[in-house]
Amino acid sequence: MKANKIYAILLGCVFAFGLSSCVKTAPEYVPGEKDTASCTVGLDVSMPTNLELSGDPVEVFFERNDANGALDVNVTIVDDSGLFSLESNTVSFANGEKRAKANVVYDYDKLDPKDSYYFEVNMASKELASLYKAVTIPFNCVKAWKNLGVGQFYDPVILDDSEGDLGIVECEIRQSPDGALRYRIMNPYADVERRAMLWGDDAAKATPSEYIEFWVVDEDTMQVTWDGFWLTGIWYNGKPGADIKAYLPSALNKSYASENEESGYADDDVVQIAARYYIDGLGGFGLNYCYLSMPGGPDLEEWLMEE
């Protein structure tokens, strides 16, 4: 028994020694160099750098560690394509601001939708550079749908309360990057509260289409069409899956093909879209007319009142 106890004690000592010999000593902490400038400036590297260009300037953000006093910082751009430039070579921080931006501008129409573009923005005021902040940031870009501005959209079935409030919504309108007469009405059913107010909370849980895309099929008559249907963001009677869809008439039934011709420009900047609203397997609301006033077009409510 004694021999067993001695053996156990010796084994425990060896095990403990083995453990202690495996524990690594942490390296000695060596502080990094300190910035020599009391106020330092760098680029905000959290901003997105893979971009789809729609015509709006690219915003490049700079940050500083000390907000006291106004401060101007010199910036430069490196761009082999020659299509991108800085709106100003100076980024200005107002007193009390820790964040400021430079705008990179370009001619949208000169961008090729088949190409990708690369440029860098650099902070040229090296005396303000920090050892721990980026002074250069690269951007990779492609040509996206062009932002034409804000238009107005009217849906008589989904958004009109039938009591005088037409529910006209303002939407960003985009044009195809190749310049064709092809457009997108962005997020026309984004107002969940209005959908819920008119149709009920459960009905408004449906997911609407992100955009309505339409295009001109005949430049003489300016007739327009679209592909199949779009989702209006309403489940009929709140039943999941019972989406109210706005169909191109011929896509719902070939016998309605003649109604396709009712979609087109009703005025210079106003588009009429004739759609059949339908719940698959249940029925629908017949043919109805949506309207879009393009950016720069007339006030849609006034235009509708005159018609």
> Where in 197-242 does DSSP place strands (E)?
211-218, 223-226, 229-235
Q: Is residue 27's pLDDT more than 90?
A: no
Tokens of 13: 């000592």
Both 120 and 150 in one domain: the answer is no
Which tens digit of pLDDT belongs to each residue from 182-229? 999 999 999 999 999 999 999 999 999 999 999 999 999 999 999 999
Going by C-alpha positions, the residue among 90, 94, 83 that lies closest to residue 60 is: 90
Which tens digit of pLDDT belongs to each residue from 113-168? 999 999 999 999 888 988 778 899 999 999 999 999 999 999 999 999 999 999 99
- Indicate the pairing of strand 264-267 with strand 41-43: unpaired
The residue from 107, 122, 143 where one domain ends is 143
Both 262 and 284 in one domain: the answer is yes
Query: What count of other Cβ atoms lies within 10 Å of the Cβ of residue 271?
Result: 23
Overall number of domains in the chain: 2
Both 178 and 256 in one domain: the answer is yes
Query: What count of other Cβ atoms lies within 10 Å of the Cβ of residue 306?
Result: 7
3-state helix, strand, coil in the chain (%, to 5): 20, 40, 40
pLDDT attached to residue 117: 98
The residue from 96, 113, 143 where one domain ends is 143
Task: Report the CATH number at residue 60.
Answer: 2.60.40.1740
Both 126 and 189 in one domain: the answer is no
